[in-house]
Chains A and B, each alone.
Chain A
Amino acid sequence: MSGLPFLLEIGTEEIPDWMIQPALANLRELFEGVIAEHSLSGKVSWVDATPRRLVLRADGVLERQPDTEELVLGPPKAAAFKDGKPTGAASGFARKMGVAVEDLRIEATPKGEYLAVTRKVIGRAASEILAEALPQVISRIYFPKTMYWTGKGGPRFIRPIRWLVALLGNEVVPFEFAGVRSDRITSGHRRLGSPCIEVTIDSYEASLRANYVLIRADERRERIKSGARSLAGSAGLRLRPDEALLNTLVYLTEYPTPIVGGFDAKYLDLPAEVLVTVMRHHQRYFSLEDERGNLAPNFIAVMNTNADPEGLVRQGNERVLRARFNDARFFWNFDQQKKLADRVEDLKNVTFQAKLGSYYDKAQRMVELVAELGGDSVAKRAALLAKCDLTTEMVKEFTELQGIVGGLYARVQGEPEAVAQAIYSHYKPESMEDDIPPTAAGQIVSLADKLDTLRGCFAIGLIPSGSKDPFALRRAAQGVVRILAEGEIHFRLPDSGDLGEFFRDRVEYYFREVRGFRYDEVRAAMAAGFADLKDLNARLEALRAVRPTENFEPLAASFKRIKNILRQAQFSGGANLEEALLEAGPERELHDSFVALRTVVQEHRTRKDYRGALEAIASLRPKVDLFFDKVLVNASDPRVRENRLTLLHSLLTEFSGIADFSEIVTA
């Protein structure tokens, strides 16, 4: 590729790991905007980052913008010539443009004829354009929470910027941001590298590597993965994969090196959930397991350095983990002094939401909701106790274990196993990938919890908007949808009002993105109702099955036509069909087939045999086609016309109870 390579490195203090990838995508977009806007050609060939640097490379950037031509209009032709001779206005314009009067031409415009000259505009140097644009690019990279550091009113970024590398070919693109001048000097690893390294575009990556910075996230990822696997293997253990943790570590390090550590097997009598949480969330360690899948008394930590020859880092991490596990044991023993059942009253001191009261109030509402959902005594007991673990030391310390701790405590405190199970899983599903609670009682308690939150928040106007969803209502609603669609509970979703609209979006998302139905199928089936998700599911599956059959899509097209006809006629039914007005032939035949089919379809629907019903409806296609072929709906006799519209309307209404076919997009 002709043109020049370009390299930008924004050197910062440590950027939060989870913000880096979106920032890089944004940087790429902003830079592409600049080269496009200024016709600099070239394309972004690489973006990458470590916690201390965001890097962008482009190739094929033109050294200069292409020259362009610009048409400059002068005085009107009428004022420019008198008796065929140029006037002062004409010669003045020519002088101003630096050309001879003879070189001026006449340009016809909508406003009339004008003198004009074509001027050549010399393209500006890329370096100059980039020097102006890069401060803007940097300041416009989006971060969720920014800071200022040079003083009040100073520029904002995610963390202080400490150096800038900006090279176009071999030259520095000169600019300044937040008091930092761009240069060709980068900085290595905080402890292992040099703080001042002169680079060229070609030497950049290798120079960083020599200074213990692996600039490519993919390489760091691979180094962690393969290192961790081989350490686990040498210990005769298996690594428990954890992609989210891996990604965090990739962006927390510049030179990651995994090490293996151990802990006393005596801690294994604490629940594995607690041990894994401490390791994963608090220490960012990978867990290991033996060949039978049991948690092993070992862990893998990832250092941000090259080696641990004296074992100091391992020892330090082991010591911290030991203290954490001791804490957990202390909390466990301390918490057993007061049973969950004795903590119900304590929930009065834990706020759920200022206007919605305490968790005590919530628990009472959940118990009532469980009854509404058809729950038994197990589910009611679980609902009453579900939130009690919020008052335990263990959950105060490890909030992500809420529910799980309650379930574990219920079990050791002699609650029935089914109650313990339901408490344990009542926050599930916590994500799209997570399972729903495994038992009916768990599903009911989970539904009661989420529905209470949703109803309460909507009642006081806490409705999510844009990215603002502090009570995670979208996740709660998504959980409700999944449990109702996949679980054992029958319950009608709210399908009207704000909450109904909110659920409509979740239901649509679920069937499209999670279940893989086509969007027009989902809309068609939902148009016939979505309060009963199992029924919706059955209708969708029937629709998917029938769709490829030969009559279906043409019939759907006809239904759309019917809908349009009715809309144009502003016809909304109401009249009774008068059989006497039906014309013999296609109209009469359509009517008779319809009447005969109606009974068949009804029978199928009663048996929830939606596929049978849809196939029956589809069989009507030849009659509908013939009708439209031979019969004029807009008959001159208004009574006949009205009667035909009534026939079509009945047809549409009768057969839209499973899905609104007019929503189907046909080829």
Chain B
Amino acid sequence: MDSFQQTVFKLKQYWADRGCVIQEPYDLEVGAGTMAPETFLRVLGPQPYRVAYVQPSRRPADGRYGENPNRLYKHQQLQVILKPAPEDVIDQYLGSLEAIGIDLRKHDLKFEEDNWESPTLGAWGIGWQVMLDGLEITQFTYFQQCGGIDLDLVPAELTYGLERLVAFLQDKESVYQIEWAPGFSYGDVRLAEEVQHSVFNFELADVDTLWELFRLHEKEAQRLLDLFPKYEPKERFPLLAAYDQVLKLSNLFNLLDARGAISVTERVGVIARVRKLAVGVAQAWVEQQTPASAEVAR
């Protein structure tokens, strides 16, 4: 039986063998692997790309103080982007399951419709949740739009929920019982983080401070976006830094939401503010990548 980390190694090796860049997790708080620039920005424009990385993903409202065996404030996603999606993408994906020791001839596999959409990112795609013996182990998406822009090349995004997958492989009832490495359980490694962040997210985070931070990051993102049109040479412009501000905003929004600090009337408006900046960055990014096609993209 492989440990959690061993399974991660195998998946990374498998995708490295198929031409993927193996990236490290993005070093800001994100809600999903999709939000890391390695996905959100790289899927835009005409350049082919292949990448795989583990992305710790924070969902403040999902925290359960470490008490629920299946629900986590922060879970680990293995994110794979194949741009453009090869014709045999599903076979390659099935191969990755075999690579981590799942004998597919002995198991039941179904592809059930599940389309993905992120209003905050102006992004959506078509796909499935992949069910193995009744367990959702992967979200499989053909991206269609990102930042409100139709994509030139259609990427396949594979998102493996690592905790679930490994709990299945190790036959554990609780994610905290997963063996992370020999001698260390998932609980040993992560329980304190789950407990403390749940306390922060639900009880102690200061709402006024969060709003203040939200406004500051929003202002900085907008300031940068306003500078872009006149800035030359375009390729030096720090859109990646502007996007970091958007990621901060998204996480602050989630924290405020978990804290119950966003009223009904505000909610739609706040999402629209984040979306406007995310879409702004995406459009500027396309222009920066492909100056000639910028007018078309608009």
CB atoms of A162 and B260 under 8 A apart: no
Interface presence of A326 (CB below 8 A): yes
Q: CA separation between A321 and B133, bound complex, in Å?
A: 11
- Which residue of the partner chain A has the closest CB to B175? A323
Interface presence of B69 (CB below 8 A): yes
Q: CA separation between A13 and B268, bound complex, in Å?
A: 36
Q: Smallest Cβ distance from B123 to chain A, in angstroms? A: 14
Which residues of chain B are near A17, meaning CB under 8 Å?
Answer: 113
Give the contact stretch, choosing among A309-317, A431-439, A588-596. Answer: A309-317
CB atoms of B133 and A327 under 8 A apart: no
Q: CA separation between A190 and B168, bound complex, in Å?
A: 22
Give the contact stretch, choosing among A344-352, A506-514, A551-559. Answer: A344-352
CB atoms of A354 and B133 under 8 A apart: no
Q: CA separation between A570 and B8, bound complex, in Å?
A: 86
Using A147-B126, A317-B134 as known contacts, say yes or no to A323 and B70 having CB atoms under 8 A apart: yes
Interface presence of A149 (CB below 8 A): yes
CB atoms of B128 and A14 under 8 A apart: yes
Using A14-B111, A150-B154 as known contacts, say yes or no to A316 and B264 having CB atoms under 8 A apart: no
CB atoms of A303 and B142 under 8 A apart: no
Which residues of chain A are near B212, meaning CB under 8 Å?
Answer: none
CB atoms of A152 and B151 under 8 A apart: yes
Q: Smallest Cβ distance from A361 to chain B, in angstroms? A: 10
Q: Smallest Cβ distance from A660 to chain B, in angstroms? A: 48
CB atoms of B111 and A13 under 8 A apart: yes
Q: Per-residue 0/1 for B116-149: is the Cβ within 8 Å of any A Cβ (1 yes, 0 no)?
A: 0000000000101000111100000010100000
Interface presence of B112 (CB below 8 A): yes
Which residues of chain A are near B260, meaning CB under 8 Å?
Answer: 349
CB atoms of B264 and A317 under 8 A apart: no
- Which residue of the partner chain A has the closest CB to B143? A147
Q: Smallest Cβ distance from A261 to chain B, in angstroms? A: 9
Taking CB atoms and an 8 Å cut-off, the chain A residues in 123-161 that contact chain B are 145, 147-152, 159-160
CB atoms of B171 and A319 under 8 A apart: yes
- Which residue of the partner chain B has the closest CB to A331? B68
Q: CA separation between A423 and B194, bound complex, in Å?
A: 36
Using A152-B152, A349-B260 as known contacts, say yes or no to A147 and B142 having CB atoms under 8 A apart: yes
Interface presence of B87 (CB below 8 A): yes
Which residues of chain A are near B105, meaning CB under 8 Å?
Answer: 191-192, 305
CB atoms of B264 and A358 under 8 A apart: yes
Interface presence of A16 (CB below 8 A): yes
Which residues of chain A are near B150, meaning CB under 8 Å?
Answer: 152
Interface presence of B99 (CB below 8 A): no
Q: Smallest Cβ distance from A1 to chain B, in angstroms? A: 38
CB atoms of A349 and B264 under 8 A apart: yes
Q: CA separation between A323 and B167, bound complex, in Å?
A: 11
Interface presence of B173 (CB below 8 A): yes
Interface presence of A320 (CB below 8 A): yes
Which residues of chain A are near B152, meaning CB under 8 Å?
Answer: 151-152
Which residues of chain B are near A305, meaning CB under 8 Å?
Answer: 105, 107-109
Which residues of chain B are near A162, meaning CB under 8 Å?
Answer: 87
Which residues of chain A are near B85, meaning CB under 8 Å?
Answer: 149, 160
Which residues of chain B are near A323, meaning CB under 8 Å?
Answer: 69-70, 173
CB atoms of A151 and B128 under 8 A apart: no
Which residues of chain B are near A394, meaning CB under 8 Å?
Answer: none
Which residues of chain B are near A199, meaning CB under 8 Å?
Answer: none
CB atoms of A151 and B107 under 8 A apart: no
Which residues of chain A are near B115, meaning CB under 8 Å?
Answer: 145
Q: Smallest Cβ distance from B178 to chain A, in angstroms? A: 13
Interface presence of B90 (CB below 8 A): yes
CB atoms of A351 and B134 under 8 A apart: no
CB atoms of B126 and A316 under 8 A apart: no
CB atoms of B68 and A330 under 8 A apart: yes
CB atoms of B173 and A191 under 8 A apart: no
CB atoms of B94 and A301 under 8 A apart: no
Interface presence of A41 (CB below 8 A): no
Interface presence of A7 (CB below 8 A): no
CB atoms of A354 and B109 under 8 A apart: no
CB atoms of A316 and B154 under 8 A apart: no
Most buried by A among B71, B144, B168: B144
Using A252-B112, A313-B108, A323-B173 as known contacts, say yes or no to A151 and B134 having CB atoms under 8 A apart: no
Interface presence of B110 (CB below 8 A): yes
Q: Smallest Cβ distance from A562 to chain B, in angstroms? A: 59
Q: CA separation between A315 and B86, bound complex, in Å?
A: 34
Using A51-B111, A316-B134, A319-B168 as known contacts, say yes or no to A354 and B142 having CB atoms under 8 A apart: no
Q: Which of A13, A148, A310 contacts B154 (CB 8 A)?
A: A148
Which residues of chain B are near A190, meaning CB under 8 Å?
Answer: 90, 94, 109
Q: Smallest Cβ distance from B134 to chain A, in angstroms? A: 4
Q: Smallest Cβ distance from B282 to chain A, in angstroms? A: 15
Interface presence of A200 (CB below 8 A): no
Q: Which of B106, B126, B264 contacts A310 (CB 8 A)?
A: B106
Interface presence of A656 (CB below 8 A): no
Which residues of chain B are near A301, meaning CB under 8 Å?
Answer: 108, 134
CB atoms of B70 and A327 under 8 A apart: yes
Which residues of chain B are near A304, meaning CB under 8 Å?
Answer: 108-110
Q: CA separation between A550 and B153, bound complex, in Å?
A: 74
CB atoms of B133 and A148 under 8 A apart: no
Most buried by A among B107, B153, B264, B268: B264
Q: Would you mind naming 7 contact pairs between A and B with Cβ atoms under 8 Å apart?
A: A149-B154, A150-B154, A160-B85, A316-B134, A316-B135, A321-B134, A330-B68
The 8 closest A-B pairs by CB, nearest first: A316-B133, A16-B113, A14-B111, A303-B108, A317-B134, A147-B126, A320-B134, A351-B264
Given A313-B106, A317-B134, 20 other A-B residues pairs in contact with their CB atoms under 8 A = A16-B113, A147-B126, A147-B144, A147-B154, A148-B154, A152-B150, A152-B153, A190-B90, A192-B105, A301-B108, A305-B108, A313-B133, A316-B107, A316-B133, A316-B168, A319-B173, A320-B134, A321-B134, A323-B69, A323-B70
